[in-house]
Amino acid sequence: MSERPTILEARDLVVSLGGRRRSLFRPARAPVRAVAGVSLALRQGETLGLVGESGCGKTTLGRTLLGIQREAAGEIRLDGAVVSGLAPALARARRRAIQYVHQDAAAALDPWWSIGRLIEEGLIVAGVRPAGLRRAKVGAMLEAVGLEAAFHARYVHELSGGQLRRVALARILLLEPRIVILDEPTSGLDLSVQATVLRLIAELRARLGLSYLLISHDLSVVERMCERIAIMYLGRIVETGPTRAIFASPRHPYTQALLAAAPRLARVVRPTGLILAGEPPSPRALPSGCAFRTRCPNAAPACAATLPPLEAASHQHWVACLKWREIPERPRPPLVTGAESA
Amino acid sequence: MTADPLLEVKNLRLSVRTDEGVAQILDHVELTVARGQILGVVGESGCGKSTLARAVLGIFPKAARIESGEIRFEGQDLLALSDADMTRLVRGRRIGFIPQDPYLALNPVFKIGAQLLAAMRWHAAQPTSEAARRAELVALLRRVQLPEPEAVLERYPHQFSGGQRQRLLIAGALAARPALLIADEPTTALDVTTQLEILKLLQALTQEFGVSMVFVTHDFGVVAELCDVTTVMYAGQTVETGPTGAVLAAPRHPYTQALIACHPDRAAALIGIPGQVPSPLAPPPGCRFAPRCPTAADVCRRRRSRLVADAPAHGVNCRLADERLAARQAGVGA
Amino acid sequence: MLILVKFAKDKPAVLGAAIVLAVVAMAILAPLIAPYPGDVAASHLLQRLKPPSPEHPFGTDNLGRDILSRVILGARGALMIALLVVGISMAIGVPLGLIAGYQQGWLSQTIMRVTDIFLAVPQLILALALAQLMGPSLESAMLALTLTYWPFFTRIVYAETRRLAAALFIDALQCIGAGASRILFLHILPNAISPIIVRATIGMGFTILVAAVLGFLGMGATPPDPDWGLAIAESRQYLPEAWWFSTFPGLAIFLTVLGFNLLGDGLRDIVDPRLRRSR
């Protein structure tokens, strides 16, 4: 079986945010390394999940791959060609094949204009000339994302969360990207609506030959949508591999804790050590060595000294932990099924 | 269980006057919380669960009108109390509140100690000294697992993380030793790992302090983790209520069944519920789920919203429950 | 439309709109509705300083001219000054505010410092100085007012632009490749309209007031213009006996400024994207 080609690749990407030079009125401020050395590869036609909690850098990573955020160090390759090292406007122009869907669908749309006009804007910017042609494309795209033609004349505040997600998708798909970065596509959506949006996303991938980078903190979404996942903690990838392998046999203690913490439909029996204590450290003051060691039940002195590299745990399954061999396998805790009495 | 319930909401109908007409937000809502119980109120957006939770506290949206119903708490109808009495006697004192957004609930310009002690002073049942209150607050902060409680009192809200702020609010709510806590989606804004910690904390505290709780959420998983009893709401109506395990494992209302079927723990495939939640400005007559229900019948449009005991301690708001009950009674009679 | 319905519920705003419409109608139809249109220039010394009567409902002035007619005719000058001053101020101030708010570098700082300098100049003093240089006239008054009013627009547009530039939908537009001018004029400007409209309507009232003051000081309109401020100046010597001479022009100023202020308040409340509906 031939390997699908890699279309988007990042090598040792570092992104710093919020630095400030000393000026007449304000003191200098050290920047925060939101992404501290990340390498990943997205293959043609696949959905790669980027999982992590708030502050792990997944959104920053997504925006850096998009180009709107400039990287501080590292390389980004699109179809093998280097596209990094450019200012945001130039980077976006060079990486037009990559588009982005924001987490907050309502806030990402201008409340002043009608939906039809908003969707059309991408085409206008891209220089698609006769207005009739644009109108036809917008109409076709509305249908493709499951919205009636009447939505053309509506306004942002009249639409529900699920509908707004579809509008956002329609807008960027008209630009004919090959890679779409989806930032928390189900956040804020009701359960009954989530499935329809996810189904649409899956259908569009098949129909339009897209590849996705799906950013989410919701493991159930990732499990249903992604072939491979990468788990991030404080700016680094701690585990990556095929979704099924990671869910069946998570190797990194953080992944195990994350899987254990997800709320399930029945009471969960959790072995001790899987409920994390304390707060994640501030990204401004990262612990030396492995950033997870302050909350890790298996931490050893060696963990403070060395930054664990990604090692192969099995085929295509990589872990960044010094002690992964010693940590017991802890697949997702089983559900205690059956009706429980009060 | 023969003891009187701590909180009983009966037949509550609440409407709100808007620019576009009258919105029927709550329709014949029923809710019961026993002493020492944690009740989960689950529903999707727009079902009225937050409005209901705030109504118990006497906080109503602008231009709201209670059309009928009562809220009995410790034997007293709260709707009959004036706002002044509610503020003085009930809100914060007998019924505590934990809001959804810890970032917005604390005043950013006052220290934590100042804010929480002021609340304690206001709600103190008997006169106590400032020193005694301070000591009690420190003990509470330790109990909610905040490190260095003495130092916490001197810090400002922005110096804490989301999870820590939520713990502060929990401590603040418990400080007045209320009989009931209303929690409005307190973990929605938190990370999954932090959420688990807070849920475990709430579980322990409610037992230790003998507090009952109404926990509003949209997440069935949270309810499964924490709540003894669950009430499911849809479009302003209570559709099902019962022991959490029973409701999740064997739901009896078509909406609950459809919704749980969407959950990733039950469905490998991606399924949703066809149709849309009706607008409260033009609600369907009778059962509001009827337009989307696979088993809807004519009688559903005429049926008044009420929970019917379909199994022991398990109430269902559905004509199917009526029919099952009638069949059982006929069987018994015969 | 939802906007009109909402506006109709705001009583003070409706009152303001009615007053403004009346003044505008007065200005447009002046020669047709003034009972004595010739009283712009003519004088009837036999009729001087007559109190209000059926033939002269507002009385006559020191040259026997009908005050009602002169008040109606004066509306033209008042509105014209207001429209020109506010219009040109907006044309200068709004684009500068947009540019300064969107960029963050030296251009932005330069624009805002120049704005600060112009803000520091007192209006009346500048008007007096220009009147000296150019000779007192309506033109010198308008120039002085415009030069001192545009910075207000720049300031509010700068604040709104900075706020909106940080909005997520602007970020989304940059992600799909929209350029700066498209973003500024098609996305930031429409969403910043509310404070601009409020400032413009209040500015109309304010300009009429200041123009009246300048007329009063003899630094603006010159006789025999039926300018309201000028009329009040001319009436000073004949007070308190000929009370009608200053009262009616003064009332005209008062009501017009009030009308614009009420209208401005009402507009602020209804210029809200959420009121744009498809149905």
> Could you read off the pLDDT of B63-85 as tens digits, one per residue?
999 999 999 999 899 999 988 98
Query: Within 13 Å and on the Cβ side, how many CA atoms surround C197?
Result: 17
**Token pair 């002493």 in the structure block, residue:** B35
**Token pair 């809220």 in the structure block, residue:** B71
Q: Which residues of A touch C278 (CB under 8 A)?
A: 114, 150, 153-155, 158
- Are B184 and A259 in contact, with CB atoms under 8 Å apart? no
Phi/psi for A140 (5° steps) reads: -65, -40
CB-based contact, C182 to chain A, within 8 Å: yes
CB-based contact, C166 to chain A, within 8 Å: no
Rounded Cα–Cα distance for residues A170 and B186 (Å): 34
Q: Which residue has the higher pLDDT, B270 or A145?
A: A145
- Are C222 and C137 in contact, with CB atoms under 8 Å apart? yes
pLDDT at residue A14, as a whole number: 93
Instruction: Convert the pLDDT of each residue in C160-203 to its tens digit.
Output: 999 999 999 999 999 998 999 999 999 999 999 888 988 898 88
Band of the pLDDT at A63, cuts 50, 70, 90?
very high
Q: Which residues of C touch A111 (CB under 8 A)?
A: 169, 191, 273-274
The answer to whether the Cβ–Cβ distance between C276 and A100 falls below 8 Å is no
Is the confidence metric ipTM above 0.85 for this complex?
A: yes
- Are C201 and C257 in contact, with CB atoms under 8 Å apart? no
| % of chain A exceeding 70 in pLDDT | 95
Helices within B106-243 (DSSP H only): 112-123, 130-143, 149-153, 162-175, 192-209, 220-226
The answer to whether the Cβ–Cβ distance between A108 and C190 falls below 8 Å is no
Q: Which residues of A touch B197 (CB under 8 A)?
A: 275-277
Is pLDDT of C44 > 80? no
Q: Which of A192, A243, A270, A336 is the mutation pick for testing B, counting most B CBs within 10 A?
A: A192
pLDDT at residue A340, as a whole number: 36
Rounded Cα–Cα distance for residues B236 and B256 (Å): 14
Closest Cα in chain A, distance from residue C225 (Å): 45
The answer to whether the Cβ–Cβ distance between B218 and A161 falls below 8 Å is no
| Mutual angle of helices A253-261 and B192-209, in 10-degree steps | 50
| Edge-to-edge strand ranges of the sheet holding B21-33 | B21-33, B7-18, B64-73, B76-77
Q: Which of A8-17, C87-96, C116-125, C150-159 has the lowest mean pLDDT?
A: C116-125
Chain A residue closest in CA terms to B261: A192
Closest Cα in chain A, distance from residue C155 (Å): 22
Chain A interface with B: residues with Cβ < 8 Å: 53-54, 160-161, 190-196, 198-199, 202, 217, 219-221, 223-224, 257-258, 260-268, 275-277, 279, 335, 337-342
Chain A: partners with 3+ C-beta pairs within 8 Å: B, C
pLDDT at residue C1, as a whole number: 65
Which residue(s) pair with B230 in the sheet? B40, B242
- Report the candidate in A285, A283, A257 with the shortest Cα–Cα distance to residue A271: A257
Rounded Cα–Cα distance for residues B152 and A145 (Å): 50
Q: Which residue has the higher pLDDT, C36 or A253?
A: A253
pLDDT at residue A342, as a whole number: 32
